[in-house]
C-alpha cells in the first residue's frame, strides 16, 4: 500500500513538472511571437525584410539559445507535427486568402491560374521526381524506393504562398498578384493531392492501369474538394440569411461563419479530399454571399478576425520552422558527410529552379496566344517575377517531408534523416535568399506609379477610375448604391467588336435571378422590421472585388 502511494506521488510530481514545462514552452513561444510582430512592424518599410523572414531568423536565434542552454540536447520547445500544421495552422491562412481575394481578377485569369497551378505543378513534379531518380542514386544516400522519389517531386513542387502574399501587393499589381497568388494556392492543393494519391497506390509494380487510376483519383479529388467548399459556403449563407442572427447577436453570426469554414476543412480531411481547395473556395463563396448577409459590425469583425488569425498562423509557422531547423537529432545522421548534404541540397535547389522555369515560360507563351489584348498578356518581366516568386519553399514542403520520412516527428533511418535535413536546408535557403531578393526584383522590373496616381486609379468613385474600367479590356464595372446592384456595362471595345454579352454578364444575370434571391449577397441583404438601419457604402465590397 505504501509503495502504491509513493508511486502515485511520484507520477503526480512528474505530471506537474511536465505541465509546468509545457506551460513554460507556450509562454516562451507567445513571447517570441510578440517580438516577431514588433520587429516586423519596425522593418515594414524595409525593402528586403518581411514578417516571414523575421520570424524565421527569430526561430533560428531561439534554436541556438535553446541548444546552448540544454547543452546540445534540444533546439526547440515544441516538436514539429504535420497534424498541427494541417489541422490548426493552415486552414486560417488559406481561408483568409480566399475570403480576401479580388474575385474579378481571380476569375478573369482563372484558366491561366489553373494552367499554372495544375499543369505547371505536374510538369514541375515530373522534372523533380525523375531528376531525383537520376541524380540521387549517384550520391548513395540510402534506400529510397520509387514512392519516395515521387513523394520528393510532390514535396518540392509545393510553393510557399505565405511568403508570396507578403512580397506582392494586391492593390499595386492586381494582375500579377492574382496570377502568383492563385497559382500558389492551386499549386499547394495540387501538390498535396498528388502526395496523398501517391500514398494510396502500390508504385513498386507500376503499370498503365495504376497510372490511369492515379490521374482519375487526382481529378476526382480536385473537383469534389471544390464542390464541397462551395456547398459549405452556400449553406452558411442560406442559414444566416434565413435566421438573420444579427438581430439578436452579432457574435452568433461571426461564430457560425468561422465554424462553418473550419467544418468544411475538417470534412474534407475526413473524406481524404483536398482540404486546401475546399476551404479556399469556401472563403470565396462566403465573401460573395455570406459576408453580405450579416450586420455591418459583423462584416468589420469577420474581415479583421480572419486576417488576424491568418497573420498569427503565418508567423507561428516560420518561427516553428526556424527552431526545428536546428534539431540536433536529425543533424547527427549527416554530421559525418557534410559534403553529401550540401550536394543533395544544391541538387534539389537546381531541380526546383529548372522545374519552375520549365512551365512558367512555355505556359505563359501559350496563355498569351489565347489573348488578343496586349494588356492581358504576360510580358517577359512579369514572367520572370512569376518564376522567381514561386521558387520559395515553406511549411507545406516541410509538413509533407515529415509525413513521408518521419514517424511522430522523429526518424531513425539515415536516408530519411538526410531527406529531412535537405528539405529544411532548401526551405531556409529559398525563403531567405529568394525571399530577400523578391521585393528588390519587383521594384526593379515593375517600378510603381506615383502614389497620387495609384490612389486615384484605385478610388472606385473617381471619374478617371470609372472611365478606365469602362474602357478596360474584358472588364465590366460594377457600382452598387443603397443596396441596389447594377450590372456593369460592357466596355466600348467589346461593344463595337462583339455584339454579344460576356460570360461575366451571363453569370451576373444568373446570380441575380437565381443565386442571390436564395443565398443573399449584395442587394439582397435581409431586412427585419425593428432591426437597426445599416448604412451601405459604395466601397464596402472593395475587399471582394
The DSSP annotation for 84-138 comes to: HIIIIIHHHHHHHHHHHS-HHHHHHTHHHHHIIIIIIHHHHHHHHHHHHHHHHHH
- Return phi, psi of residue 410, to 5°: -125, 155
Handedness of CA 50, 52, 56, 62 (dihedral sign): positive
SS3 for 483? coil
Neighbours of 168 (CB within 10 A): 22
Quick one: which of 191, 200, 195, 166 has its CA closest to 181? 166
Which residues are paired to 481 by β-bridges?
484
Length of the chain as a residue count: 545
Cβ atoms of 381 and 373 within 8 Å: the answer is no
pLDDT reported for residue 502: 56
The DSSP annotation for 248-306 comes to: T-HHHHHHHHHHHHHHHHHHHHHTTS-HHHHHHHHHHHIIIIIHHHS-HHHHHHHHHHH
Cβ atoms of 264 and 281 within 8 Å: the answer is no
Burial, 158: exposed, middle or buried (Cβ in 10 Å; 0-12, 13-18, 19+)?
Answer: buried
Neighbours of 356 (CB within 10 A): 25
Architecture of domain 82-309+358-445: Up-down Bundle (1.20)
pLDDT reported for residue 49: 66
Burial, 296: exposed, middle or buried (Cβ in 10 Å; 0-12, 13-18, 19+)?
Answer: middle
List the pLDDT tens digit at each of the 545 positions of the chain: 554 555 555 555 544 555 677 777 788 888 888 888 888 778 766 656 667 778 888 888 887 887 788 776 666 666 667 777 788 888 998 898 888 877 777 777 888 888 998 899 999 999 999 998 888 878 777 778 888 888 899 999 988 766 666 666 666 777 788 888 888 888 888 888 888 878 776 666 666 777 787 778 878 888 899 999 999 999 999 998 888 776 667 788 889 999 999 999 999 989 888 888 899 899 999 999 999 888 888 888 888 999 899 888 888 888 887 777 776 666 776 766 777 778 888 999 999 999 999 999 999 999 888 777 777 788 898 899 889 888 888 878 888 888 888 765 566 677 788 888 888 889 888 888 887 788 788 888 877 644 433 333 333 334 333 333 333 333 333 333 333 333 344 444 444 444 334 566 777 788 888 888 888 877 666 555 444 444 443 444 444 45
pLDDT reported for residue 236: 92
pLDDT reported for residue 123: 93
- Between CA 519 and CA 526, with CA 523 as vertex, the angle to 5 degrees is 60
Amino acid at each position: 500500500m505504501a509503495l502504491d502511494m509513493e508511486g502515485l506521488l511520484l507520477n503526480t510530481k512528474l505530471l506537474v513538472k511536465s505541465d509546468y514545462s509545457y506551460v513554460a514552452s507556450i509562454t516562451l513561444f507567445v513571447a517570441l511571437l510578440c517580438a516577431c510582430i514588433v520587429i516586423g512592424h519596425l522593418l515594414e518599410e524595409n525593402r528586403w525584410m518581411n514578417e516571414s523572414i523575421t520570424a524565421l531568423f527569430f526561430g533560428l536565434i531561439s534554436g541556438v539559445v535553446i541548444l546552448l542552454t540544454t547543452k546540445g540536447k534540444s533546439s526547440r520547445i515544441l516538436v514539429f507535427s504535420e497534424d498541427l500544421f494541417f489541422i490548426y495552422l493552415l486552414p486560417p491562412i488559406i481561408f483568409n486568402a480566399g475570403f480576401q481575394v479580388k474575385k474579378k481578377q481571380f476569375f478573369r485569369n482563372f484558366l491561366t491560374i489553373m494552367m499554372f497551378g495544375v499543369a505547371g505543378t505536374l510538369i514541375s513534379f515530373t522534372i523533380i521526381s525523375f531528376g531525383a531518380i537520376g541524380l540521387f542514386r549517384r550520391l548513395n544516400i540510402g534506400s529510397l524506393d520509387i514512392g519516395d522519389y515521387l513523394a520528393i517531386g510532390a514535396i518540392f513542387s509545393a510553393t510557399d504562398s505565405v511568403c508570396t502574399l507578403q512580397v506582392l501587393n494586391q492593390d499595386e499589381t492586381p494582375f500579377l498578384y492574382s496570377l502568383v497568388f492563385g497559382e500558389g494556392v492551386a499549386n499547394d492543393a495540387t501538390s498535396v493531392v498528388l502526395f496523398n494519391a501517391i500514398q494510396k497506390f502500390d508504385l513498386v509494380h507500376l503499370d498503365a492501369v495504376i497510372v490511369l487510376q492515379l490521374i482519375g483519383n487526382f481529378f476526382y479529388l480536385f473537383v469534389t474538394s471544390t464542390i464541397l467548399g462551395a456547398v459549405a459556403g452556400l449553406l452558411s449563407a442560406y442559414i444566416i440569411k434565413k435566421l438573420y442572427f444579427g438581430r439578436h447577436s452579432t457574435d452568433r453570426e461571426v461564430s457560425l461563419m468561422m465554424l462553418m469554414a473550419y467544418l468544411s476543412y475538417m470534412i474534407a480531411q475526413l473524406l481524404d479530399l483536398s482540404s486546401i481547395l475546399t476551404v479556399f473556395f469556401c472563403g470565396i463563396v462566403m465573401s460573395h454571399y455570406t459576408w453580405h448577409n450579416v450586420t455591418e459590425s459583423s462584416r468589420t469583425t469577420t474581415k479583421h478576425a480572419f486576417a488576424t488569425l491568418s497573420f498569427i498562423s503565418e508567423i507561428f509557422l516560420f518561427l516553428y520552422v526556424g527552431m526545428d531547423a536546428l534539431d540536433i537529432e536529425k543533424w547527427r545522421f549527416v554530421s559525418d558527410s557534410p559534403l553529401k548534404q550540401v550536394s543533395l541540397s544544391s541538387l534539389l535547389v537546381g531541380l526546383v529552379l529548372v522545374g519552375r522555369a520549365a512551365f512558367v515560360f512555355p505556359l505563359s507563351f501559350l496563355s498569351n496566344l489565347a489573348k488578343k489584348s496586349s494588356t492581358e498578356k504576360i510580358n517577359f518581366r512579369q514572367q520572370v517575377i512569376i518564376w522567381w516568386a514561386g521558387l520559395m519553399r515553406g511549411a507545406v514542403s516541410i509538413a509533407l517531408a515529415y509525413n513521408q520520412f518521419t514517424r511522430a516527428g522523429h526518424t531513425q533511418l539515415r536516408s530519411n534523416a538526410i531527406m529531412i535535413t535537405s528539405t529544411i536546408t532548401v526551405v531556409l535557403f529559398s525563403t531567405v535568399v529568394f525571399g530577400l531578393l523578391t521585393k528588390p526584383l519587383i521594384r526593379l522590373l515593375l517600378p510603381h506609379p506615383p502614389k497620387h496616381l495609384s490612389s486615384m486609379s484605385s478610388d472606385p468613385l473617381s471619374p478617371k477610375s470609372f472611365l478606365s474600367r469602362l474602357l478596360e479590356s474584358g472588364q465590366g464595372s460594377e457600382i452598387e448604391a443603397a443596396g441596389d446592384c447594377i450590372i456593369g456595362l460592357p466596355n466600348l471595345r467589346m461593344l463595337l467588336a462583339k455584339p454579344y454579352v460576356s460570360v461575366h454578364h451571363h453569370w451576373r444575370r444568373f446570380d441575380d435571378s437565381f443565386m442571390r434571391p436564395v443565398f443573399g449577397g449584395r442587394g439582397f441583404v435581409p431586412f427585419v422590421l425593428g432591426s437597426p438601419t445599416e448604412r451601405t457604402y459604395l466601397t464596402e465590397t472593395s475587399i471582394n472585388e
